[in-house]
Amino acid sequence: MHNRNLLTSFAALAGVATAAPAPGHKARAIEPWIATDGTALFAGHGILAGAQFDVSAEAGYILDAPAFDVHCPAYYVYNGAASNGTACTFLGPQPAYSAVYAYTDYDTLAVTVRHQWLSAGGVRKVSSAVGTLPAQPAYEVTLDPFPLQVSETTTSLPGIIGDYGTWTATNADFVRDSAGRLRGMQYKLSAAQGYALDAPGFEVSCYYDYNPDATVFPICTPLGSIAAGSQVSLWASVLYNITTVHHQWTASDGTIFQLVGTSDPLPNLGQVTEFTINPDLLNTL
C-alpha cells in the first residue's frame, strides 16, 4: 500500500509535470539528424500529401534520449497550422513510451520531426528538429538527403509515467445498431480502494458511442456509491478496438488527481468478455 509520503512526492512531481510545457535541459551543440531515402508521399487516389523519409539518431544525442531509427510519413499541414504530426514507424527497437512524429509545411516545405521519450523520474520529454525539403515533392523526385537541425532544448509533457495498479473490465462487448453496424463498446469496470496512491475504489458501467473526437470522454455510470469528487470516463477507437479510461478523484488535501490507462487491442470482444487496464499516466488537474 502506498503511504502518505509517496502520495506527497507524486503530487509534487505531478504538479510540476502538468504545468504548461517548460523548457528543459540545454545541451551542447547537437549534430543534425540526416533524413534519407526521401520521396513524395501520396494519399488515396494518387493525391500528393507530403513527403516520406527515414531518419535516425544515436542514444544520448541530448540528455536521457534513447536512440531511434524510423520511417516517417510527413503529411502536409496548411496555413502554418500547428500539428502534432503523424507517427513514424520504428525500423529498429522501440523503447517503451518512445515515439517519433513528423509533418511538412505545405507553403514553406519545412519538415518538423518530434521525438518523445521517457526520462528519469517518469517524466515524458520531447525534442524537435526542423529542416527544409531540397525540392517540391513530386512523382519520381528524390528528396535525399536533407538535414534536420535539432533544438538544444527539450520540453516536458504533462503527467508522470508509472505503475498505478489495475482496473478490471467484465461483461465487455461491442454495441451494434439494428443493421448490425458497429456503434460502440460497453463493459463494467472496477478497482479496489487504494489500488494506487489514495485512490478510492469504484464499480461503474461504461458505454461509448464511437466518436472520432478523442477529446470526448463520456462519464461511466456508478453501480453503487462512489466517493465525492470521483468519476470514471472513457474513449474508444473503432479502428483499433482499444479503450482509454480516466479515473479522477479528489485527495484528502484537495488535490485533484487523474489516472489514465489504455487497453491492449480488443478484437475479440463478444468472445473474450474480460480484460484489464493498467493505468500508467498520472496527472493533476
From CA 174, how far away is CA 172, in angstroms rounded?
7
With pLDDT > 90 as the criterion, what percentage of the chain qualifies? Answer: 64
Burial letters for 130-143: b for 16+ Cβ neighbours within 10 Å, e otherwise? bbebeeebeeeeeb
Contact 153, 128 (CB under 8 A): no
Residue with the three cell numbers 507517427: 87
- Please report the pLDDT score of residue 144 as a whole number: 87
71-86, pLDDT tens digit by residue? 999 999 998 877 889 9
**Cut 0.85: pTM above it:** no
From CA 280, how far away is CA 263, in angstroms rounded?
11
Contact 62, 154 (CB under 8 A): yes
Overall average pLDDT of the 219-231 stretch = 92
- Please report the pLDDT score of residue 12 as a whole number: 37
Contact 207, 218 (CB under 8 A): yes
From CA 133, how far away is CA 138, in angstroms rounded?
12
113-127, pLDDT tens digit by residue? 999 999 988 899 999
